[in-house]
Structure 1
Amino acid sequence: MKSFQQDWLSNIRGDLLAGLVVALALIPEAIAFSIIAGVDPKVGLYASFCIAVVIAFTGGRPGMISAATGAMALVMVTLVKDHGLQYLLAATVLTGVLQIVAGWVRLGVLMRFVSRSVVTGFVNALAILIFLAQLPELTNVTWHVYAMTAAGLAIIYG
């Protein structure tokens, strides 16, 4: 009982604050990745909530955030378009199983053989693909959208 209290109830204030910050950050991210993947934003919100609940009870590491990623959203675009939404769940479950197996056989140590330039190239290509996926959202809209986009870019680069 003492171990349960120490593991689960020792930092309630900090855990609630961290959970609130992560939840507020994940809501727009889940909606954006849903739009990129071509599914209803409610699907992304439900999936993000399910990921958070599963990770909360199955464990994780301090400071680790489990959520949807831009790389998966971009890959799922063609899957959803070609086969429909029902294949998205199967692909997600298969991805999770493969990640569990990769962790079990400790394939993470192979990441040290991937050079920094390869990782940088992957991240930059991902950023370009996300930008290109968002371009259709900027067509046939009012000037307010362009003003907000310019303000957001100014904040990011400022």
Structure 2
Amino acid sequence: VDPKVGLYASFCICVVTALVGSRPGMISGATGAMALLMVTLVREHGLEYLLAASFLAGVIQIAAGYLKLGNLMNFVSKSVITGFVNALAILIFMAQLPELINVPPSVYVLVVLGLAIIYLLPYFPKFGRAIPSPLVA
């Protein structure tokens, strides 16, 4: 997808959340799980289906909210949620690996530098707690 599509979508999500959101600090945006699924949808069927799938996901979320289905998450164990999040991280990482093929050496330097900042900055008390390391990277 063209990066402009993501920028426009992010802006629209912020505006809609600000107008109809239930909390002042509500976080909204594409999750890793949805982004991972939508890649295949766009690749196989085109960008038009992404809009339809997004609307359908919104309708399902609204229906689940009205039916109070969020309470069912109390029955999912913490280890299952941890496993899901870890598997999602591995799948996202594996999806990014092809982007590191046939690139200039400076890209590898930037990847290593970014990872070093993310994992080492929290060990410096002055900066690590005041500024999130992924934001610095």
How high is the TM-score relative to the length of structure 1?
0.74
| Percent identical | 73
Aligned residues: 120
Higher deviation after alignment, 95-104 or 67-76: 67-76
Which residue is equivalent to 2:5? 43
Which residue is equivalent to 1:28? none
Which residue is equivalent to 1:105? 67
Which residue is equivalent to 2:109? 147
Which residue is equivalent to 2:80? 118
Q: Is the 8 A contact 2:17 2:26 kept in 1?
A: no
Among 91, 95, 106, the residue aligned to 1:133 = 95
2:22 aligned with 1:60, yes or no? yes
TM-aligned CA deviation for residue 59 of structure 1? 2.0
Letter in 2 for 1:152: G
TM-aligned CA deviation for residue 45 of structure 1? 0.7
Aligned counterparts of 2:24 and 2:90: Cα–Cα separation in 1: 31
TM-aligned CA deviation for residue 137 of structure 1? 1.2
The higher relative CO (CA closer than 8 Å, separation ≥ 6) is in 1
Mapping of residues 16-35 of structure 1, within 5 Å: none
How high is the TM-score relative to the length of structure 2?
0.84
* Structure 1 outlier segments of 4+, above 6 Å: none
CA RMSD of aligned residues (A): 0.9
Which residue is equivalent to 2:131? none
Aligned counterparts of 2:38 and 2:64: Cα–Cα separation in 1: 21
Unaligned runs of 5+ in 2: 121-137
